[in-house]
Amino acid sequence: MEEVVNIYTDGWIEKIAKLSLSDHLVCSGKRSDLQWFGTKLIQRLGNYPDSEISPIYGRLAIDFDDLCYQLCHATPWGFDIGRNFNAIRDVIRGESTPKNKFFIIYDAQCLYSNEFKSFEKLFEIFLEVAKEKEKTGNNLKVILLLEDKEEISVRKLLRRKEKYRIETIKVIQKG
């Protein structure tokens, strides 16, 4: 079931931050609402002890090379990576070992639209590495922020990933 979040109400950020600790999130809405949502979420998640947040900007990661570049620079990695999925898996695993690690992908619809096979494989890698981290007592979650127009396509992709905890959220603003 989809959660609806009104970003003009009180208390939503605490609820979503707690949900981010247990579930991967796929959030849809208008771009401006998602920007506010993502910004507030990053600020709140940063308050959790021993946490690392890595934002990825989908409008700037429109192909596989751009995605690799962003991952390399958004995480504490320290050097350029190879342009393959094994290298991406290593970066997502990371050299640092915070208790909580969050990847927030803004404008995820851009990568989805331009590089579907890469997007699908990337999302699968995030989910697999998150499962590995759980076994060691650590937490890794991916949060996708995407405009409404791609929501249905991404939902189809998510249906194939039922073994993972993925929550869908509709972000709205009503003042």
DSSP code string of 23-81: SEEEEEE-HHHHHHHHHHHHHHHTTSTTEEEEEEEGGG--SHHHHHHHHHHHTT--S--
Among the residue ranges 37-51, 52-66, 108-122, 126-140, the one predicted with the least confidence is 108-122
CB atoms within 10 A of CB 49: 7
pLDDT (tens digit per residue) in 9-61:
889 999 999 999 999 999 999 999 999 999 999 999 999 999 999 999 988 88
Q: What percent of the chain has pLDDT over 90?
A: 46
pLDDT band of residue 173 (cuts 50, 70, 90) is confident
pLDDT (tens digit per residue) in 54-89:
999 988 887 888 888 888 888 877 777 788 899 889
Query: pTM for the complete prediction?
Result: 0.90
* pLDDT (0 to 100) of residue 157: 66
Homologous superfamily assigned to 3-172: P-loop containing nucleotide triphosphate hydrolases (3.40.50.300)
Region 136-158 average pLDDT: 81
Q: Which of 82, 80, 34 has the alpha carbon at shortest distance from 58?
A: 34
pLDDT band of residue 156 (cuts 50, 70, 90) is low
Residue 126 in this model has a pLDDT that exceeds 90: yes
- In this structure, the strands spanning 100-106 and 51-57 are parallel
Residue 129 in this model has a pLDDT that exceeds 90: yes
Q: Which of 61, 56, 136 has the alpha carbon at shortest distance from 103?
A: 56
Residue 110 or residue 104, greater confidence? 104
